[in-house]
Each structure stands twice: as structure tokens, then as C-alpha cells.
Structure 1
Amino acid sequence: MNNEQLLTRQDLLPFFFKDETATEKIGIEVELGVVNPDTGLSIPYKGTTGVSAILSALLKTDRWIPIVDGGHIFGLRRADGTKVSLEAAGTIEYSSPPIGDIETLVRTTEQEVLKMAEVTRELGAVLIAGSMLPFDKLEDTKWSPNDRYGLILDYLNNLGIDSLGKCVMARCISTQVTFDYVSEEDMNRKMRSLVAAVPVSNALFANSPIEEGVADGTLSHRSRYWLRWDPARCGCLPPALSGSMTFNDYIDWAIQIPMMVAVVNGVCQPMYGRTFASVLEHGFEDGTKPTFDNWRAHFSSIYTDIRLRNTIEIRSMDGLPLELVPGACAFWTGLVYHQPSVESLWKLFQNRTIEDYQKAQAEVCYKGLEAKYGNDSVRELALEMVKLAKEGLQARVNAGLEQPTVLKYLDPIEEIAVSGKTFAERLIERWKGEFDYSPANYVEAYRVK
């Protein structure tokens, strides 16, 4: 439907429909910290070496179209779906277009991110990949000059959310992978399996152990922060965990989620926790009826670990150094795009309750692969997930959908599961050893080169 048409409950459903030409592609989003190479502290938005200057310099390098809000540049986009966007505290996110195979996706992402890193370096800063801005203090956060982010922070304050919740916006840098579904049945099959497996993927990809320059033994500060964000819109997606979620089930759940902000007549305004269902029925405060853009913005502000839009977005990983991102792509593609693997994944997790899920999530932050999920070892479950991913990936190679080289991408992920030692635990060893607690040494190791 046209974005400017007025919206009714009946209009929400067709957005999720797929026709017979729907295909399965892969997308990736890589968030990158923009930091001072000596201190590891994030770079502000303004200034000759600020993030806005970096975006302006990138604009001149290729066929980019600027994204401007309130007179400020906040991102870049291309007609093919490629996007570079600015996050709340000045981190930059690269979003790929949807691509049909892992090898092409990996090479495209690498080339684009390396170009971004070169421009950033010429302006005196560097890009780092991973899951945290590990040296910034919350009180020193350099917030982007964007009204929407300010209103979201106000929303969190009104909820009584403590500072850990705000750390999601201030410090987290992550990697997310996006997949397609081709029908409602296919959506349910994929969503239920991925949602149920979240605590294990949290452990397998735990990689954010340093906070304000201190490694206190926590393996995933990022996961810990998300546990303290708005529980109405984060964490588990209950309809999917039930095992039989329809599009209507999801819509019924999503429209009851409180809205944080909305753009009404061109102005971004607070919503004071009104649900989308209420706005559908009664309109905004001035009587204006919601449009499809309002709906799109609302479900984009739902941050469940696995997020349903007109794609399926996996948000349950801590981010990884750029050279390990191919492993994440290979792992999830092997699981999601091989029906026997995704069905076996559901059998592995189908008896988990929301209570099991929440308890395991909290435990994984500190214990990683040594945590329990229900009565089972997270490490043993991770090994089984790697096995299913490998089977799915091999099947795609055999079918000519992937290059044989992608099988090697799984090796670092498998090695984590086999050893039981997370990326975070290895980083702690490096921080206390070869890095000698030096931010400059950390940045040199994890900057995009």
C-alpha cells in the first residue's frame, strides 16, 4: 500500500505476504565503533574529524544518496538497498543489500567496510568491530543530535529503566543477519526454531567482556544490558515460542506493544506508552490517523532477540571482529535455509518454556557455554547446532547454492563449541596478556584494516 494511505487493522496483514516469486536471500548489518586510535574512546558527531565529517566524506566516494534529518546527515543509501546509518551514540552501521549466497555477501561486505575504514582513517579516527565500545563511560556518551534518540531516552527514564538499559544505546555494537521466509508456514518454522535457540546463540557468540576498560569476568555485557531494557519489546517473542505463530498472531502481539515515539505531520513526538492498537482505533492526540510509515516505525522499534518484519532478523549475537563475520553468516545460513536442519533445531528446543529461556539468558551472560538451558548443557546444545549448520551448509554447496569455500567459515564457530571457551574468554586473556590493559593495543588488534 502507499505509505501515505491511512491504516486499518486489516491493512497490516498483507505486508507480510509473499508471492510465488519469493526467494531466500541473506542480508547482514555490521555496526562499527568510530574511535580515537590512542584512547579507544568514541568520536563525537560534530567537528572536522567527527562522525558527520566521515559520512560527508563517504558521500563523495560512490553513488550514495544522503539521509538528512533536521539539517544533519545521519546516513547514506543506494538504490540497491545498501545503507550506512548512524546509531544513537555515533556508531556507524553498514547494511548490505539482500544477496543470494554467502561468498558474495562476505566479499561485498568486506569491500564496503574497508572503504569506510579508509575514509575514517584519513580523518584521524579508526573503525572497530565487536560488541562494545569498551572504554567509554556512560556519563561521557556523545549522543547524536537527533530528536528521536532523545525522546527514546526520555521514554526509558519514564519507565524507570536504570543506566544499564541506556548502555544498549550508548555502547553496544553488534552484528545481525537477516533471512527471508517464503510463506506463512515457512515463517513459523524458522521463527519458532530461532527464537527457542536464542540462549545458546548468546553463549556461542558471547564477545563483550570489557566495560569501561575493566574485564570483571562478565562474558556478555551486551546481553546483560538488553535484559535491562524495556521488557515489553525485548527478549523472547512469546507467540513464536509457542510453535504455531501466524502473521495474525504476531500482529495481535505487536499492536499491544507501547509506542515510544511517532512522526505525526512531519514532527517526531513522544507517545507516552500508548499502544499501536490504541492509535489504530482512536488516532494520535490531534486526531491524525496512523499511516503505514507509522506501522513500519513501530515494529522497527520492537527489539526481540529474533525480530519479524517482512524478513527474519537475528539479533541474538554479540558482534565479532570483521574476519569472523563470515562464520556467523555460514552458521545461520546453514541452519535457516536447510529445511531438515531448521526442523531438527525445533525438535532440539521445542520443550523449552519462557522461564527456561529467561533463566538461561541471564546465566549465559556470566557462564557462557557452561550455562544450562533447562536441564541441558548449553555447550552440548551448541555442538548440536553447529552440526546441523554444517549439514545445512553442505546441502547448499551440493545443490550449487554456495561455493565450497564457505564450509571453512564455520571452523572458528565450531572450535568455540568444541573447546567450550567463548570469544569473550579469549579476549579477556588477550586483554590481561598481550594487550597489557592498553586501549591502544586493543584498538590496533580489532580495528578494521
Structure 2
Amino acid sequence: MARDVSDATPIGARSELIEWIAAGEKPRDAWRLGTEHEKVPFHTADASPVPYDGKTGIRALLDGMQRASGWEPIIENGNPIGLVDEKAGGAISLEPGGQYELSGAPLRTIHETARELDEHLALAKQVGDELGIGFLTLGMSPLWTRAETPVMPKARYRIMTNYMPKVGKLGLDMMYRTSTVQVNLDFESEADMVKKMRVSLALQPIATALFANSPFTDGKPNGFLSMRSEIWRDTDPHRTGMMAFAFDEGFGYEAYVDWALNVPMYFVKRGDTYHDVAGASFRDLLAGKLAQLPGERATQSDWANHASTLFPEVRLKRYLEMRGADVGGPTHVVALSAFWVGLLYDRAALDAAWDLVKGWTAEEREQVRRDVPKLALGATIAGRSVRDVARDALAIAKAGLKSRAFIDASGHDETHHLAYLDEIVSSGRTSAERLLERFHGEWKGSVLPAFRECVY
């Protein structure tokens, strides 16, 4: 999750919320991509979770990364909770259970995001090795119970922890035990946003299937290939899901804002204080009628922070966030960005992707979303296997990247970053299925080998 912002500029009308999103529009030559990924840290000596405090804790890891990178610390109530590269725009943050997240800088090419990832992982490994900390490449913590999982000292997470059990059964698992990879992408106009939103929502379950990598919970198979994705299905129905209304005629910034206004808030931040207003309406804050904070009116930062607490499969802020994939190893992380950039950043590819999905009904999209956590590439939509649809989507993405024609120092265009997905589609076997084979075979019914083999 991105760090919360501070901008006390008051908001006087609903129209300003729409203008806040519209301000994200960028001309095509200014489009960038930002890759984010989370990873679960563990003590390499005994595969135990890493608490925040202590000589070999998360705080020590952040301190070491700060010294090694020169990035500025993000402090909350005297505790470092992240780092930021003020010059380039990247950041490191902590998820509720200590998942260590890199929010990459906005970059022009997949080659650049691959280099950024390599540099970050090299630094994280250097500092982690000094502390005896490793990082898992799995989409869900495979061994520890929720009770055994550490809790990070962030006020917004305390508020969310109290609220989650009121709106779903698995929200705390989402917060404390899952890890994702996502890419954030630009749009040039409202019409461009709408087309990208519809294509990426429809294809998000296809990405979930391709990147399925969370088959273990509490030390054993959990019955799913992407348990992380299944968890989102019972987290909070008000702020999650496939956003069927995005396919309605007339959808645009205004419709998204109206949906966001109907999603209950978690908190209002004033100065360094997080006020718990969980379940309250942003409309009341906008009108100065929020019962918990009489007289307070909405600010720009209130809206930005509220927008960051919405969790649909594709999220709209001043850019679009692709949110459907489990995290994995380095080639997995980069392939996620390559897949979506190839589909959405080339006009012909975007048109072809729309042709691929435009005939699907809302019911078909919902059904495949329900099926892919368990079946992955074996699910079906509109009479076709997800594997076949994935093959078509991958071909479109490849053509889109080829058209971009960004060549690296070795003479490769960006399509080589899709080789990871080529192998998955050609074999029909996801990362999760390969891990399950090892669990039942060479791992002899234990997930402990994952702490040696599924690491960065």
C-alpha cells in the first residue's frame, strides 16, 4: 500500500474529486510504468517470522537499507515504516504483517523496471544476509498462522484490523499473509482510461491464472492455486471485485467517483494522527457533517488516502493499477509488467485485446473470477479455456511490446520479458502447480523447503 499523503487543500465540491482523477491524464510520450511487489521476510536460521523490533527485526532491516541506499526514512510515531527516494520517486513500505514492498519509480521501459528490481533485490539481499533475513517469492505466507504473524506499528493498519472482521471472513489474511505484484499504468484521456479499465478488468482473472503462486497455508496445501486471489473474494464486498458497472454505457471518471463515495471510509488523517472513522461516509466529510469529527471538511489528502483504500481488481487513481496477480520470483515480477504494458500501451494491441473480451457478459466475467483461484488455466470463459485465452492475450501483449521497439544494450526488445509466461502457457502448468508437485514429491509433505528454494 502506498504511503498516506498530506495535502490540506480543502475540497469544496464533488466535481473536484472528478478533477483530481482527470489531473492524471498524460500525453502518450509521457506514459510510464511503476512496478510494485511485496515479499514476506523470514529468519533464514529457522524459517521464523520477522518481528518489527529487535536486532534482526524489520526496523533493523529498514535502517540497514536506509544506510545502504541513502533513501530518506518515513517515520510514524517515532518508528521508521518505510523509505523514499525523493529524486526518482520510488519507495519501500511495510504491509501489515511485515511484507516488504518496493513501489518502483515511474519508468519508461520494461528493461528499466527489470534493472530497478535487480538493484533493489541485490541491496535487500545484502542487508538481509547481514541480519539473517531472507525473502519468500510466494503469494502467501506458507507456514505461519495468523496469530504467529507479526504486526507492524502503523496506525492505519490498526484501524483496518479492527474493521475487517465486520465486513468479511478473510480480510485479516489479506492484510497479514498475502503478497502481490502489480503495475501502475497511465492514460491520456477519459476515453482511454475507460477502454483500458474494461480490457484490464476483463483480463484480470486471466492474469490471476497465469501468475497463480499461493498454494500453501498453515504448512499444507490450501486447495487453491491462488489462495491470495480467493482471499480477496471474502475481504470486503463494498470495496473489492470486478466492478461490473465499468462496462455500463457512460462509464467514466464520474461513475468511478460515485462508486468510491459509496465505499465506507477507514480513517481521516490530521497531522500525524489517524482518526478511526471506519464505516463512515466520505459524503458526510465532504459536507462537513462527519459525526466523529464535527466541523472537519474533506481535503485533497483525505480523497487521495480514501482512494488508496479501495481494492477492486483494477483500481483507478491518477493512474490504473493492475491488482490481480500473486507475487513470484524476479522474472515473474517483470513479466507481470510486460504483460500489461504490451496489452495496454500500444493502440493496435489495445484494440485487439478489446476484441478478445468485448463479447463476454458480466456473468461470465464474474464466473471466471470465482473459478480461477482454484482452477487457474483450467477454468473456462465463454466456452473457451483460460489457457487458450491466455495464449491469445500473450500473443497480443507480445505484438504490443514489439511495436514499442524499445531495445536494451543486448539488442533485445521488451518481448523477451514474456518468456516466463510463454513457458507457463505452453506447458499449461502454473508456478503453484509445480510447487504442489514438489510438495508431494521431493519436499516429502513439508513446506520448509520453500524457505530455501522459493527465495529471492
Residue of structure 1 equivalent to 2:176: 170
Counterpart check, 1:188 vs 2:218:
no
Aligned to 2:37, what secondary structure does the other structure show?
strand
Residue of structure 2 equivalent to 1:416: 424
Q: In structure 2, how many angstroms separate the alpha carbons of the residues matched to 1:402 and 1:172?
A: 35
Which residue identity lines up with residue 27 of structure 1 in the other structure?
G
Counterpart check, 1:276 vs 2:282:
yes
Residue of structure 1 equivalent to 2:368: 360
Which residue identity lines up with residue 261 of structure 2 in the other structure?
I
Does the 8 Å CA contact 1:191/1:240 hold for their aligned counterparts?
yes
TM-score, with normalisation over the residues of structure 2? 0.92
Which residue identity lines up with residue 66 of structure 2 in the other structure?
L
Does the 8 Å CA contact 2:204/2:322 hold for their aligned counterparts?
no
Q: In structure 1, how many angstroms separate the alpha carbons of the residues matched to 2:428 and 2:203?
A: 17
Q: In structure 1, how many angstroms separate the alpha carbons of the residues matched to 2:222 and 2:26?
A: 50
* Residue 236 to residue 148, structure 1, CA distance change in 2 (3 Å): same
Residue of structure 2 equivalent to 1:101: 109
Matches within 5 A, 1:190-229: 190-229=196-235
Does the 8 Å CA contact 1:335/1:342 hold for their aligned counterparts?
yes
Which residue identity lines up with residue 382 of structure 1 in the other structure?
A
Which residue identity lines up with residue 10 of structure 1 in the other structure?
S
* C-alpha RMSD of the superposition: 2.2
Does the 8 Å CA contact 2:160/2:266 hold for their aligned counterparts?
yes
Does the 8 Å CA contact 1:155/1:272 hold for their aligned counterparts?
yes
Residue 248 of structure 1 deviates from its aligned partner by 1.5
Counterpart check, 1:78 vs 2:82:
no
Q: In structure 1, how many angstroms separate the alpha carbons of the residues matched to 2:76 and 2:32?
A: 30
Residue of structure 1 equivalent to 2:8: 4
Counterpart check, 1:14 vs 2:19:
yes
Structure 1, unpaired ranges of 5+: none
TM-score, with normalisation over the residues of structure 1? 0.94
Segment of structure 1 superposing worse, 354-363 or 18-27: 18-27
Residue of structure 2 equivalent to 1:110: 118
Aligned to 1:143, what secondary structure does the other structure show?
coil
- 1:158-185 Cα deviation digits (max 9, x unpaired): 33x22x2211011101111111112212
Aligned to 2:75, what secondary structure does the other structure show?
strand
* Residue 371 to residue 57, structure 1, CA distance change in 2 (3 Å): same
Which residue identity lines up with residue 275 of structure 2 in the other structure?
Q
Which residue identity lines up with residue 428 of structure 1 in the other structure?
L
Q: In structure 2, how many angstroms separate the alpha carbons of the residues matched to 1:100 and 1:124?
A: 35
Residue of structure 2 equivalent to 1:333: 341
* Residue 21 to residue 365, structure 1, CA distance change in 2 (3 Å): closer
The partner residue of 2:38 within 28, 31, 39 is: 31
Which residue identity lines up with residue 421 of structure 1 in the other structure?
R
Does the 8 Å CA contact 1:206/1:318 hold for their aligned counterparts?
yes
Which residue identity lines up with residue 251 of structure 1 in the other structure?
V
Structure 2, unpaired ranges of 5+: 1-5
**Aligned residue-pair number:** 446
Aligned to 2:147, what secondary structure does the other structure show?
helix
Residue of structure 1 equivalent to 2:404: 396
Residue 293 of structure 1 deviates from its aligned partner by 0.6
Give identity over the alignment, percent.
29
Residue 400 of structure 1 deviates from its aligned partner by 9.5
Residue of structure 2 equivalent to 1:233: 239
* Residue 30 to residue 408, structure 1, CA distance change in 2 (3 Å): same
Which residue identity lines up with residue 18 of structure 2 in the other structure?
L
